[in-house]
C-alpha cells in the first residue's frame, strides 16, 4: 500500500444527521443518503484539473478498490447501490487550503495573551473597530471552530486540530475572563435590569478591560451575552473544555439569570443604538430574544465539565422563562421592534445559530418577508430607512433628527453579512438550492486578499465560485456597500439599479468567518451535525406543534376528605400514600433555586426569588435518591381572593392545562400535582357536606377522568403510575452546596411546630385545614404589618412547608370583633350575574338586601359623607351593631376616609385596618364579592403576579392603560408589582372597588391571552376604563337595568363572572352572531358518558363556545330542517339536535338549547342549562327565553334529567314558546321541542314537541321544516318581523329600538371600539392614505393625523406608527361604536383610492381630495341616506312608521345612528355600501359597483 494511503470505511447513519461524530482519526466518513437514483448530487474535487464544484455527476456499480484508496485517488466518490447513494468524504482533501485563509483573516488578529480578536483593523469616521466586541468575537472564532472540527477527521494533522481547538478555547475563556471581572454588574442587573448595570459590549483587545464608561455606550446588548452562552454550550457538547472551576460554573449560571427575563426589558439590540433613530431608546428586539431562546434551550441541563463533571457543574434553565421569551418572539415576528418593522438580524434567530422558532412554516414566512423587504444585489439592508454609513448621513452626531430618516429611503446600505446567515441556515436545514443561490450571490462581493479588488471579474471567464476561490489568494468580505453620492437620485428613482461601493472596513472578520464556515460545509469537509451536537437545527424543521399528554395526580388533604370524595366516585391519594415522593409548595422550589449559582467570592447571590411558573412544577425532582413534587404556583397561598371562587379556579386549571400541553418541552410527560382540601369544597370539616357553589370544581375534576379537557389529553392516576413517564430533574447540586441547615429541601422534611416538636412536612391536617384559597390571615401590602401575617414566601422557614402544612398553619382560630353576617341562599342568582338582593349578597350596597332578618334592631339610616368626620361616632355605633358585611364594609370605608386605616374603634378595641381584614376574610368565606372588593381596595391588596401578568400582555404587544381621561397612563414597559399596584390605587381612588376589578381584568387578560390568543387579534391597547364600561354595558343589556345598577352588579359579580364577561367582550366575531352567553366556563363541555358517571354532582350552566366549532351555514339556505331527539338518564342519557343534517351541539346534562334567527339565517346561541342541579340555571333559562326576539326559533332537548330543579318560571317560559307538555315532564323523563315566537303569517308550522316517560325509552325523532324564503318575504311585506323592527312614532322608547341585526353588530362595534380593535393590515393602509393625501393628513371630527413627520420617520408596519394612529383615534372619537365606524370609513376610503389609482387618470382627483375631507362628514352623509331608505322600507308596516316629522331632532339623530351602527358590514343594505356611496357622492363620482364589491370582499375576510 502506498505510504499516504488511508482506509475508507463504510459507516452508514440510520437517517438524518448524527448528533455527534466520533470516527477514528485515520478513517474517513461515509454517509448514507437515502435519495433516489436519478437525483443529482453535488461532488467536490480537490484537484485543480478535476471537475469544479457545480458539475453534477453520478456513478453506479460496486464500491471500487474494495474500499481502499490513496489520498490522491480518494476525493469524493459516489456510487449507487440498491437505490441509495453512498458518498465518501475525503480524509484531508482541501482542508489544508482553508488554513492559510483563516489564519490570515482571523487567527493572525487573535491577541496572544487575552485570546480576543478585534472587530477589524479599521479606524474610520464611523469609529474605532480595534476593540473586541463580544458578538464579533464569538462569530469570528466560528470559522476556526469549524476548521478544528474538520481536522478531527484527518489522520496526520500535524497537531493542527489541537492548536485550532485551543485557539477557540482561548478566545472563549478570554471573553469569560473579561465578563467575570464585572460579576458585580451581573448581580445588580438580575434585580434592576438597568442599562447602567449591564455587562459591557466590548473590551480592550490586549487587556480584556473595559474601554468606555457605563453610560458612554449602548452596553445592554442581550444578544451578545446570549450568543456567547449558546456557542459555549455547543462547544462544550463537542468536547471542548472551556470552563475549568466551580467559580466559573457559578458565573455562567448567573449569566443565565442575566438573560432569562429578556422579554421584560428593552435593550440596544444587535446594532447597539436602540431605536432606529439612534436616540438610545431601549426596545424589545426579536433578534435578541431569539438568541436568548436558543441559548436557554442549549444551556439547559448542560454539564460545563463535560463527561467528567458532576451535578454541581450542571447548568439549570427554567422552562417558564424560556417559554415567555419564545412567546414574545412569536408575537413580534416578523417585526424586529417598535421602531423597526423588519430587520436582517432576525435571520440569526430563525436560522443559524439560534434556530429559535419551532415551526417550519413560520420560519419560511419570516424569511420570505425579510428577503422581500430588505434584499438587494449586495446583501440585505439592516432595516428600512437605515442611514448608517449612507453618504447623506451626518457623521458629526450619532442620532437622527426629526424627518431625517425619510432621506435614507431606498438608499440604505446593504450588508453581505446577511447572505452568510442565509447560506448557513439553509445548509443546516437541508435547503441546498437556497444555499447555492446565495453562495452564488456572494461571488461578486468577494475581494482579493492581495489586490483588495473584487475577485469576480466577468472578463476573465471565471464565473463559478470554486474557480474564483482557487489559487493562493483568499476572499475578503466588506462590512457593507453604500450608494455613491452621485448615484443617489437615480437609485431613489429606480431602487437596485445603481452600482454600490464597499466601505473602508475590509474585511468584516465576523462576515468572513461565517463565509468560511459555509464553504467548509459546501466543500464537504464539515457537516452541520458536527457544528450542532445539540441538534438545535431540528427545531427549525418542526412542522407539528407540541401536544403533550398532561398527567394529573389528585392529592387529598387527609383521609377524611379522600373518603368523602370517594363517595362521589373520585379516587385520590393522601400525602402518606404517595411516599417516597414528598410534596412541597412552589415557594420551596423558589428557595431551592435561590441557592443555585451562589458564590461569595464573586459576590453572586444566585437566582432572584421570583415565582416559578407552572411548567417548572410539572417536573419531578430528585435529590440524593429522594423524589419531590411541587404544587403549581396558582394554588399557592396568596393575598388575594380570586381562587376563593371555585368557578374561577376551574377556569384557571383549564387554562393551565392548555398552556402545559402546548409549551412543556422537557423529556417525559408533564405531571401536575393538584392538592385538594376541605375548604375547596366549602367544608370546614369531615362531617360537612359539599357546598353547592363549589360542586362545579368537583364535577370538573371528575370530568378529567374522561381523558380530555378542551382538546388536551389528560391522564389522571396515582403518583406511582406517573413517575416512570414523568420528567425527573436532578437537584443534587444542593447536596454539595453546604450543610443541612442551608438546604431548603432537607429543612422542609421536618418543620418545627410551636411546641418545638418536628412534624412531618407531608402530613395533612386531620382537622380540615383551610386552603390557600380562603386564608384566615391576610397579608397587607403595608410594610408596617406585624411579622406574624407577612407572606410566607419571604421567610425560608415557612416557604419550605408543604402545601397542607402551610394551609394548616394559616387556619388558626380567629377572634372576630364584628357581628357575624347572616347568609342567604345561593339560589336567587339570576343569569350568572348577581342581581340586587341575590343569594350572594352582592347587591346589598344600595340596601337591597333585607337586613332586618339579620339584625332584629336595625340602626337608623345614616347619611355619611366621605371625609366628613361629624358622623364618626354614629358610624362606630352602627358598625358595632351591624350584622351585614356590606354595611360593615361601607362603614369602615367611611371611617378610613376620616381617620385613616389606623383609626381606632374603641367600642370594638380594634383599628379600621384590623376590622377590614376581618370583613375581608368573612366576605371571602361567604362569597360576598362587593364587600370583598371594598375591603381589598381599602387594604391595597394585590393580585399575585400582577407585574408578570402585565409583562406577559406587553410582550404580546398589548399595551394596558390605567385610569381614564387626562389621567390615563399607558404602561408600555414592564413595571414592578409595587409600582403597578400604586399606580392602580392612585388612578382609582374615587371608588376603591375599581382597583381590585382592574387587577382582576389584568390577571384574566393574561390567562385568556395564553389560552385563547386569537381573541386578541387586532388589539394593541387594552384600556382598563373602556373595558370596565364595556363590562357594565354587557350587564346592563343582560339584566335590562340602568348604568348605575349595572355597575353595582359588576362589583357584586364573582371573579369567574367578571372573567366570563371579559371573554365575551373580547370574543370579537362571536358577538355579531351570538347573544350574551359566551362564557369561559362554556369550554368545560360535558359528554354524555361523563354525565352518567357524575350524576350526583351538581354543575353550573354554561354556553357552548362556538369559536372554532363548525356550525351549519344557513346564509344561502332556502329552508331550515331541524331534527331533535331526547333520551333521559335511563333511556340512553343523550340529546341530539341537527340542523340541515348536521349536529350542532355537544350535549350536556339538562336542557340543551339552540336559538336560530330565521330572518338573518344565523344560529345565534348554543346553550346548556343544567336544570337538574341548579335552580339558578333554571331561572337563567327563563330569563333567556323571555329575552329571545320575536323572530327566533328555539330548539330544546333534554339529556339525562331536566326536572329536578326546573322552576315554575322556566316551565312558564317554555309554554310561552308553545309547549303543551312541559308541565308533564318529571324526573329523568325524555322531552324535546321546536318552539318559536313567530306569528302565524310567518310560520308554516305549529310548535312541535315529543315526550316520553323515563321507563318508556327515548323520544322519537322530531323533524320540523321551516321555509326561510317565505319567512323572509313575509317579513319584508310587513309581517311581525317587520313590526319587530319598527316602532310607534309616539313611543318614548324609540332610542331603544332593536336594530337591523337585532343589536348584534351594534354590540360588536361597541366592544371592539372599547378594545381599539382594527382589521388586519389596517395601519399599513392608513400609512398609504397619508402618503397619498394632498392636505395635512387625515381629519376626524376636526382633529388631524398629520403626515408630517409621521410618515417621514416611520414605516407602514412599524409598531410606533400603529401607536400614533391608535392614539389619534382614541382622542378624536369618544364613542366606541362610532370609533369602529371611523375605522370602517378609512378602510373603504383606501380601497376606493387604490381602485381609482389602478383604473387611470380620470379618477386622479380622488387620490388626495377625498382624504382631505373630515371622515365624520362621510359618516353623517351615509347615516342620512340610510335613514331615508329605512323609513321608506318600513312605511308600510302594520304599526306607525318613524318619520322625521314624528320625532324630534335629538331622538331622530339618536335612532338613526343606532340603526346605522347595527348594520352588518356587507350585504345589500350593509354599512360598506352606504359609506362607499357617501364617499363617491361627496367627491362627485358615480357609484362604482366594482369598487363596492372589492370593499365587501375585503371586509368579508376581516369580519
Residue-level pLDDT at 751: 41
Residue-level pLDDT at 470: 60
Confidence band for 209, pLDDT divided at 50, 70 and 90: very high
Residue-level pLDDT at 460: 54
Confidence band for 244, pLDDT divided at 50, 70 and 90: very high
DSSP 454: B
Confidence band for 207, pLDDT divided at 50, 70 and 90: very high
Instruction: Answer with the residue of higher pLDDT: 48 or 162.
Output: 162
Average pLDDT, the chain: 76
Rounded average pLDDT over 4-14: 35
Rounded average pLDDT over 1423-1434: 82
**Cβ atoms < 10 Å from Cβ of 306:** 16
CB 1060, CB 1012: distance < 8 Å: no
CA angle 802, 805, 810 (to 5 degrees): 125
Backbone dihedral angles phi then psi of residue 1373, each to the nearest 5 degrees: -125, 115
Convert 463-479 into a string of H (helix), E (strand) and C (coil): CCHHHHCCCCCCEECCC
**Does the structure show a pLDDT above 90 at 880?**
no
Lowest mean pLDDT among 285-289, 549-553, 557-561, 819-823: 819-823
Residue-level pLDDT at 1277: 57
* Burial tier of 252 (Cβ tally within 10 Å: 0-12, 13-18, 19+): buried
Residue-level pLDDT at 458: 60
The percent of residues above 70 in pLDDT, for the chain, comes to 73
At 348-399, the pLDDT tens digits run 999 999 999 998 899 999 999 999 999 999 999 999 999 988 999 888 887 8
Q: What's the distance, CA 916 to chain centroid? A: 37
**Does the structure show a pLDDT above 60 at 960?**
yes
CB 456, CB 446: distance < 8 Å: yes
Residue-level pLDDT at 352: 93
The strand pair at 1119-1128 and 1193-1200 is best described as parallel
Confidence band for 1071, pLDDT divided at 50, 70 and 90: low
DSSP 1336: S
Lowest mean pLDDT among 332-336, 414-418, 1246-1250: 1246-1250
Between the alpha carbon of residue 1293 and those of residues 1040, 1308, 1449, 1451, the distances in Å are 13, 22, 15, 10
Rounded average pLDDT over 624-639: 82
**Does the structure show a pLDDT above 70 at 756?**
no
Rounded average pLDDT over 1129-1152: 82
Instruction: Answer with the residue of higher pLDDT: 463 or 401.
Output: 401
Instruction: Answer with the residue of higher pLDDT: 777 or 691.
Output: 691
The percent of residues above 90 in pLDDT, for the chain, comes to 26
Backbone dihedral angles phi then psi of residue 961, each to the nearest 5 degrees: -115, 150
For the residues of 15-77, what is the DSSP string, one character each?
SS--S-----TTEE-EEEE---TT---B----STTSPPTT-B---BSSPGGGGEEETTT-S--
Residue-level pLDDT at 1200: 86
Q: Residue 1231, SS3?
A: strand
Residue-level pLDDT at 383: 94
Residue-level pLDDT at 1292: 31
**Does the structure show a pLDDT above 50 at 449?**
yes
Residue-level pLDDT at 652: 87
* Burial tier of 977 (Cβ tally within 10 Å: 0-12, 13-18, 19+): middle
**Does the structure show a pLDDT above 80 at 898?**
yes
Residue-level pLDDT at 130: 82
**Does the structure show a pLDDT above 50 at 733?**
yes
Spell out the residues 6+ positions from residue 835 whose beta carbon is closer than 8 angstroms to its own. 828, 829, 843, 1039, 1049
Instruction: Answer with the residue of higher pLDDT: 235 or 696.
Output: 235
Q: Within 13 A of 640's CA, how many CA atoms are on the CB side?
A: 24
Most confident of 20-29, 1066-1075, 1125-1134: 1125-1134
DSSP 556: E
Instruction: Answer with the residue of higher pLDDT: 861 or 1052.
Output: 1052
Rounded average pLDDT over 563-583: 88
Cα 318 to Cα 301: distance, rounded to the nearest angstrom: 10
Confidence band for 987, pLDDT divided at 50, 70 and 90: confident
**Does the structure show a pLDDT above 50 at 494?**
yes
At 50-106, the pLDDT tens digits run 333 333 333 333 333 333 333 333 333 333 333 333 333 333 347 887 888 898 889
Cα 442 to Cα 240: distance, rounded to the nearest angstrom: 32
At 275-291, the pLDDT tens digits run 888 887 899 899 999 99
Backbone dihedral angles phi then psi of residue 1346, each to the nearest 5 degrees: -70, 140
| Share in percent of the chain as helix, strand, coil (round to 5) | 45, 15, 45
Cα 583 to Cα 801: distance, rounded to the nearest angstrom: 9
Confidence band for 257, pLDDT divided at 50, 70 and 90: very high
Cα 407 to Cα 400: distance, rounded to the nearest angstrom: 11
Rounded average pLDDT over 702-721: 88
CB 973, CB 194: distance < 8 Å: no
Confidence band for 155, pLDDT divided at 50, 70 and 90: low
Confidence band for 832, pLDDT divided at 50, 70 and 90: very low
Q: What is the largest CA-CA distance in the chain?
A: 116
Between the alpha carbon of residue 957 and those of residues 45, 939, 967, the distances in Å are 52, 31, 22
Residue-level pLDDT at 1147: 67
Closest CA to 545 of 659, 716, 655: 659
Residue-level pLDDT at 1498: 62
Residue-level pLDDT at 123: 58
Confidence band for 749, pLDDT divided at 50, 70 and 90: low
Amino acid at each position: 500500500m502506498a505510504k499516504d494511503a488511508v482506509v475508507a470505511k463504510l459507516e452508514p447513519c440510520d437517517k438524518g444527521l448524527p448528533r455527534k461524530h466520533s470516527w477514528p482519526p485515520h478513517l474517513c466518513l461515509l454517509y448514507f443518503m437515502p435519495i433516489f437514483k436519478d437525483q443529482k448530487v453535488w461532488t467536490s474535487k480537490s484537484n485543480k484539473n478535476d471537475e469544479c464544484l457545480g458539475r453534477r455527476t453520478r456513478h453506479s456499480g460496486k464500491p471500487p478498490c474494495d474500499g481502499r484508496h490513496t489520498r490522491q485517488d480518494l476525493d469524493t466518490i459516489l456510487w449507487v447501490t440498491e437505490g441509495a447513494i453512498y458518498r465518501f468524504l475525503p480524509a484531508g482533501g482541501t482542508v489544508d487550503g482553508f488554513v492559510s485563509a483563516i489564519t490570515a483573516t482571523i487567527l493572525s488578529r487573535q491577541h496572544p495573551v487575552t485570546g480576543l480578536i478585534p472587530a477589524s483593523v479599521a479606524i474610520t469616521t464611523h469609529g474605532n473597530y480595534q476593540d473586541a466586541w463580544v458578538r464579533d468575537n464569538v462569530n469570528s472564532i466560528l470559522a476556526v471552530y469549524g476548521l478544528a472540527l474538520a481536522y478531527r477527521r484527518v489522520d496526520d494533522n500535524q497537531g493542527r486540530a489541537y492548536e485550532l481547538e485551543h485557539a477557540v478555547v482561548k478566545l472563549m475563556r478570554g471573553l469569560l475572563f473579561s465578563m467575570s471581572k464585572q460579576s458585580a454588574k451581573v448581580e445588580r442587573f438580575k434585580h434592576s435590569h438597568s442599562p447602567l448595570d449591564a455587562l459591557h459590549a466590548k473590551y480592550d483587545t490586549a487587556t480584556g478591560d473595559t474601554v468606555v464608561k457605563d453610560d458612554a455606550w449602548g452596553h445592554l446588548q442581550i444578544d451578545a451575552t446570549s450568543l456567547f452562552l449558546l456557542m459555549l454550550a455547543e462547544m462544550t457538547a463537542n468536547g471542548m473544555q472551556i470552563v475549568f472551576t466551580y467559580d466559573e460554573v457559578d458565573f455562567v449560571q448567573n449569566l443565565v439569570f442575566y438573560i432569562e427575563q429578556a422579554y421584560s426589558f428593552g435593550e440596544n439590540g444587535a446594532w447597539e443604538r436602540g431605536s432606529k433613530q439612534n436616540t438610545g431608546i431601549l426596545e424589545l428586539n426579536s433578534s435578541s430574544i431569539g438568541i436568548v431562546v436558543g441559548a436557554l434551550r442549549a444551556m439547559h441541563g448542560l454539564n460545563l465539565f463535560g463527561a467528567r463533571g458532576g451535578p454541581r457543574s450542571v447548568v439549570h434553565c427554567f422552562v417558564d422563562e424560556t417559554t415567555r421569551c419564545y412567546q414574545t418572539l412569536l408575537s413580534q415576528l416578523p417585526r424586529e421592534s417598535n421602531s423597526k418593522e423588519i430587520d436582517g438580524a432576525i435571520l440569526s434567530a430563525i436560522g443559524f445559530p439560534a434556530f429559535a422558532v419551532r415551526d417550519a412554516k413560520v420560519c419560511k414566512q419570516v424569511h420570505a418577508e425579510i428577503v422581500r423587504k430588505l434584499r438587494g444585489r449586495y446583501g440585505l439592508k439592516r432595516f428600512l430607512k437605515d442611514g448608517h454609513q449612507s453618504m447623506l448621513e451626518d457623521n458629526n452626531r450619532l442620532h437622527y433628527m426629526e424627518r431625517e430618516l425619510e432621506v435614507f429611503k431606498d438608499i440604505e446600505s446593504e450588508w453581505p453579512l446577511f447572505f452568510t446567515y442565509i447560506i448557513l441556515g439553509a445548509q443546516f436545514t437541508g435547503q441546498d438550492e437556497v444555499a447555492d443561490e446565495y453562495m452564488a450571490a456572494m461571488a461578486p462581493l468577494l475581494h482579493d486578499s492581495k489586490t483588495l479588488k473584487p475577485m469576480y471579474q466577468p472578463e476573465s471567464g471565471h464565473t463559478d465560485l470554486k474557480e474564483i476561490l482557487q489559487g493562493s489568494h483568499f476572499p475578503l468580505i466588506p462590512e457593507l456597500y453604500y450608494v455613491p453620492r452621485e448615484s443617489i437620485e437615480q437609485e431613489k428613482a429606480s431602487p437596485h439599479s445603481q452600482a454600490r461601493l464597499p466601505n473602508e472596513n475590509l474585511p468584516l472578520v465576523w462576515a468572513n468567518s461565517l463565509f468560511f464556515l459555509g464553504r467548509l460545509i459546501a466543500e464537504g469537509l464539515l457537516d452541520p451535525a458536527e457544528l450542532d451536537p445539540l441538534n438545535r437545527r431540528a427545531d427549525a424543521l418542526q412542522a407539528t406543534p407540541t401536544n403533550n399528554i398532561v398527567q394529573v395526580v389528585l392529592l387529598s388533604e387527609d383521609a377524611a376528605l379522600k373518603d368523602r370524595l370517594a363517595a362521589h366516585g373520585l379516587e385520590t391519594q393522601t400525602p402518606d400514600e404517595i411516599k417516597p415522593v414528598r410534596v412541597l409548595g412552589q415557594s420551596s422550589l423558589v428557595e431551592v433555586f435561590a441557592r443555585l449559582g451562589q458564590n461569595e467570592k464573586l459576590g453572586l447571590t444566585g437566582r432572584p426569588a421570583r415565582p416559578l411558573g407552572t411548567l417548572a412544577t410539572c417536573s419531578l425532582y430528585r435529590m440524593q435518591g429522594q423524589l419531590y413534587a411541587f404544587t403549581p404556583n396558582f394554588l399557592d397561598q396568596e393575598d388575594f381572593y380570586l381562587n376563593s371562587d371555585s368557578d374561577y379556579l376551574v377556569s384557571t386549571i383549564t387554562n393551565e392545562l392548555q398552556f402545559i400541553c402546548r409549551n412543556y418541552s422537557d423529556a417525559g410527560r408533564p405531571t401536575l400535582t393538584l392538592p385538594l382540601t376541605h375548604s375547596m369544597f366549602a367544608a370546614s370539616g369531615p362531617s360537612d357536606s359539599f357546598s353547592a357553589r363549589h360542586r362545579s370544581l368537583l364535577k370538573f375534576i371528575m370530568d378529567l377522568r374522561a381523558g380530555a379537557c378542551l382538546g388536551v389529553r389528560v391522564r389522571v392516576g396515582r403518583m406511582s403510575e406517573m413517575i416512570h413517564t414523568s420528567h425527573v430533574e436532578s437537584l443534587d447540586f444542593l447536596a454539595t452546596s453546604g450543610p443541612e441547615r442551608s438546604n431548603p429541601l432537607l429543612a422542609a422534611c421536618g418543620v418545627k411546630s410551636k411546641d418545638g416538636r418536628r412534624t412531618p412536612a407531608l402530613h395533612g391536617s386531620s382537622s380540615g385545614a383551610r386552603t390557600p384559597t380562603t386564608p384566615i390571615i391576610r397579608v397587607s401590602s403595608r410594610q408596617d404589618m406585624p411579622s406574624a401575617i407577612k407572606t410566607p414566601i419571604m421567610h425560608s422557614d415557612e416557604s419550605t412547608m408543604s402545601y397542607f402544612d402551610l394551609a394548616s398553619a394559616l387556619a388558626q382560630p380567629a377572634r372576630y370583633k364584628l357581628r357575624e353576617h347572616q347568609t342567604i341562599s345561593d339560589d336567587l342568582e339570576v343569569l350568572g350575574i348577581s342581581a340586587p338582593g341575590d343569594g350572594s349578597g352582592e347587591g346589598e350596597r344600595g340596601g337591597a338586601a333585607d337586613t332586618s332578618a339579620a339584625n332584629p334592631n336595625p340602626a337608623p339610616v345614616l347619611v355619611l359623607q366621605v371625609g366628613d368626620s361629624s358622623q364618626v361616632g354614629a358610624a362606630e355605633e352602627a358598625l358595632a351593631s351591624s350584622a351585614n358585611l356590606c354595611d360593615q364594609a361601607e362603614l369602615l370605608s367611611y371611617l378610613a376616609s376620616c381617620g385613616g386605616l389606623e383609626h381606632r374603634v374603641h367600642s370594638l378595641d380594634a383599628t379600621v385596618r384590623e376590622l377590614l381584614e376581618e370583613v375581608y376574610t368573612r366576605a371571602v368565606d361567604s362569597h360576598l364579592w362587593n364587600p370583598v372588593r371594598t375591603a381589598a381596595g381599602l387594604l391595597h391588596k394585590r393580585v399575585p403576579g400582577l407585574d408578570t401578568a402585565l409583562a406577559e400582555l406587553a410582550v404580546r404587544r398589548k399595551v394596558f392603560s390605567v385610569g381614564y381621561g387626562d389621567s390615563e397612563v399607558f404602561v408600555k414597559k414592564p413595571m414592578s408589582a409595587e409600582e403597578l399596584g400604586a399606580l392602580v390605587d392612585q388612578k382609582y381612588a374615587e371608588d376603591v372597588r375599581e382597583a381590585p376589578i382592574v387587577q382582576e381584568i389584568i390577571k384574566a387578560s393574561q390567562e385568556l391571552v395564553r389560552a385563547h390568543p386569537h381573541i386578541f387579534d387586532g388589539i394593541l391597547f387594552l384600556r382598563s376604563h373602556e373595558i370596565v364600561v364595556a363590562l357594565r354595558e354587557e350587564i346592563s343589556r343582560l339584566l335590562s337595568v340602568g348604568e348605575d345598577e349595572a355597575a353595582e352588579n359588576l362589583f357584586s359579580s364573582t371573579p369567574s363572572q367578571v372573567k366570563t364577561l371579559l371573554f365575551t367582550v373580547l370574543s370579537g366575531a362571536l358577538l355579531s352572531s351570538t347573544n350574551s352567553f359566551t362564557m369561559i366556563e362554556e369550554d368545560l363541555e360535558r359528554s354524555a358518558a361523563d354525565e352518567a358517571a357524575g350524576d350526583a354532582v351538581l354543575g353550573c350552566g354554561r354556553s357552548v363556545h362556538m369559536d372554532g366549532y363548525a356550525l351549519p351555514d344557513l346564509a344561502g339556505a332556502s329552508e331550515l330542517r331541524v331534527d331533535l331527539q331526547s333520551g333521559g338518564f335511563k333511556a340512553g342519557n343523550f340529546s341530539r339536535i341537527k340542523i340541515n343534517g348536521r349536529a350542532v351541539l355537544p350535549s350536556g346534562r339538562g336542557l340543551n338549547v339552540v336559538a336560530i334567527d330565521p330572518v338573518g339565517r344565523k344560529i345565534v346561541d348554543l346553550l346548556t342549562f343544567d336544570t337538574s342541579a341548579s335552580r339558578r340555571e333554571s331561572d337563567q333559562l327563563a330569563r333567556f327565553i323571555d329575552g329571545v326576539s320575536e323572530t327566533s326559533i328555539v330548539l330544546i332537548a333534554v339529556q339525562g334529567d331536566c326536572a329536578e330543579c326546573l322552576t315554575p318560571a322556566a316551565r312558564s317560559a317554555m309554554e310561552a314558546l308553545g309547549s303543551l307538555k312541559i308541565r308533564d315532564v318529571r324526573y329523568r323523563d325524555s322531552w324535546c321541542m321546536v318552539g318559536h315566537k313567530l306569528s302565524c303569517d310567518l310560520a308554516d308550522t305549529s310548535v312541535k314537541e315529543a315526550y316520553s316517560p323515563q321507563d318508556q325509552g327515548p323520544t322519537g325523532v322530531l323533524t320540523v321544516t321551516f321555509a326561510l324564503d317565505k319567512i323572509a318575504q313575509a317579513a319584508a311585506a310587513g309581517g311581525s318581523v317587520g313590526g319587530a323592527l319598527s316602532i310607534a312614532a309616539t313611543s318614548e322608547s324609540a332610542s331603544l329600538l332593536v336594530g337591523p341585526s337585532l343589536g348584534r353588530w351594534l354590540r360588536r362595534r361597541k366592544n371592539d371600539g372599547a378594545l381599539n380593535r382594527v382589521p388586519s393590515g389596517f395601519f399599513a393602509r392608513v400609512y398609504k392614505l397619508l402618503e397619498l393625501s394632498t392636505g395635512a393628513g387625515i381629519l376626524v371630527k376636526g382633529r388631524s393625523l398629520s403626515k408630517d413627520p409621521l410618515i417621514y420617520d416611520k414605516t407602514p408596519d412599524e409598531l410606533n406608527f400603529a401607536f400614533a394612529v391608535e392614539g389619534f383615534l382614541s382622542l378624536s372619537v369618544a364613542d366606541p361604536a362610532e370609533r369602529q365606524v371611523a375605522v370602517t370609513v378609512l378602510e373603504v376610503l383606501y380601497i376606493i383610492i387604490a381602485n381609482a389609482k389602478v383604473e387611470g387618470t380620470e379618477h386622479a382627483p380622488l387620490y388626495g381630495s377625498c382624504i382631505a375631507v373630515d371622515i365624520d362628514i362621510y359618516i353623517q352623509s351615509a347615516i342620512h341616506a340610510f335613514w331615508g331608505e329605512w323609513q321608506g322600507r318600513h312605511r308600510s308596516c302594520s304599526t306607525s312608521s318613524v318619520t322625521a316629522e314624528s320625532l324630534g331632532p335629538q331622538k331622530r339623530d339618536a335612532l338613526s345612528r343606532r340603526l346605522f351602527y347595527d348594520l352588518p358590514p356587507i350585504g345589500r343594505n350593509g354599512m360598506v355600501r352606504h359609506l362607499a356611496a357617501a364617499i363617491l357622492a361627496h367627491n362627485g363620482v358615480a357609484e362604482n359597483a366594482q369598487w363596492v364589491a372589492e370593499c365587501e370582499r375585503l371586509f368579508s375576510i376581516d369580519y
